[in-house]
Every structure is written in structure tokens, then in C-alpha cells.
A and B are shown apart, each in its own frame.
Chain A
Amino acid sequence: SAVISQKPSRDICQRGTSLTIQCQVDSQVTMMFWYRQQPGQSLTLIATANQGSEATYESGFVIDKFPISRPNLTFSTLTVSNMSPEDSSIYLCSARDLYGYTFGSGTRLTVV
């Protein structure tokens, strides 16, 4: 199955700033997704990253807050904009290939 490299693995950021998270897949994949996981909770889908077009956001998530890029079939970024302490969470990217869904190792974000 696909292998995903996600970075940074963790960061501590000041409120009001933005952080961009990157995911690189070792093979071309049709679908990529971004999730958020709050401490002790399950994963919540933020958006589907569409190659060559705007991402598709889930209810409660908007492009201005979480802009996403997907310039090709192996790479995507998620930006957490104008951060507040409520954005502290783990962010994970995922890719779908022939074998199922694979996840990056996650980015642990703390906003202070």
C-alpha cells in the first residue's frame, strides 16, 4: 500500500499565525483526505483534496480557515490559518489506493 510522509510531526505555534502541513505519497493516488483528531476522540474529516480543483469541505470546515492544495497526484498541503488554541489537535492526511486507506503519521499542533 501507499506510504505517506507527513511533516511537520509536531509544532507549537502562536495564536494568529498559520501553519502549513505537507503530505507526500510514494505513489500516485486518486483520492487524498485531511482529518482532525482531538485528544481522546476519533477522526473527523475536514475535506477531500481534489487534484487540480478546489477541495470539498465537510460541514463545519471552510476554505478560508483550512485552505488545501493538491497540485498533483502525490502531494497535498493543509494550512491552518489564523490559529487559536481551539485548533490544537492532531491533523492527519490520508490517501486511498487499491489496497484501502493509508494515513500519514500525523501533525500534533499546539497553539499557545
Chain B
Amino acid sequence: RKEVEQDPGPFNVPEGATVAFNCTYSNSASQSFFWYRQDCRKEPKLLMSVYSSGNEDGRFTAQLNRASQYISLLIRDSKLSDSATYLCVVNKSSASKIIFGSGTRLSIRP
């Protein structure tokens, strides 16, 4: 089983739609969770950290379910500029290094 698993997509949704991604992780000792965004031919950039209580940043909402070991990202009122690959990232146990999921490709159509 992969340490971090995501649905690879692609998700192809119309502008204005709401889209949700899920991610599962295998190590119950993992402590830090993030969503990164990667545009084509660019480096990954932090979208948001994921906190136990859930957190929201504008149109983006991230949630963590420790009991089920999954993380979610919800994008509301999607924009064309949201088209990218979204990477679920989990720290490996108590170490500082992070492990990336395979990424979910999102394409927003006009």
C-alpha cells in the first residue's frame, strides 16, 4: 500500500462548480498534512496546511479525519485558474521529511 494515496483524476468540471478531493495516508503517526498545488512545468507551491479542526481559506476548505486517516480538499466556485495538479502531502512519522501523493489533476472548463 502506498504511504499517501490520491485519486489521480483527471477531474474535468465547469467553471463555478464545487469539487472535492480525498487523500488517504497509511502511517497513523503522521503529524503534519498539507495540500500543495503544482502547475504544469512549475514547482509545487503550498496551498494550505491541514489542521485537525479543519480550516478554510477563501474558496478552499481542508479537513482532516485522523480516525480514518484521510484528508480532503474542497474547492467552491471553481475558477479557470484553479486548473492544476493538487498534491496531498504528509509528514513521515516524527521526521521532518514529507511524502507526496501522486496528485490529482483538475481541469476547469469555461
Q: Is the CB of A101 within 8 A of B42?
A: no
Taken residue by residue from 17 to 59, chain B's Cβ proximity to chain A (1 for < 8 Å, 0 otherwise) reads as 0000000000000000010000000111110010000000000
Q: Which A residues are closer than 8 A to B by beta carbons?
A: 1, 30-31, 33, 41-45, 48, 92, 96, 99-106
**B84 proximity list for chain A (CB < 8 A):** none
Q: How many residues belonging to B are interface residues under a CB distance threshold of 8 Å?
A: 17
Say which residue of B98, B101, B102, B103 sits within 8 Å of A101 (CB atoms). B98
For B96, the closest partner residue in chain A by CB is A31
Q: Is the CB of A41 within 8 A of B102?
A: yes
The secondary structure that dominates the A interface is strand
Known: A33-B97, A43-B100. A100 touches B43 (CB 8 A): no
Q: Is the CB of A103 within 8 A of B97?
A: no
Q: With A and B bound together, what is the CA distance between A106 and B38 in angstroms?
A: 12
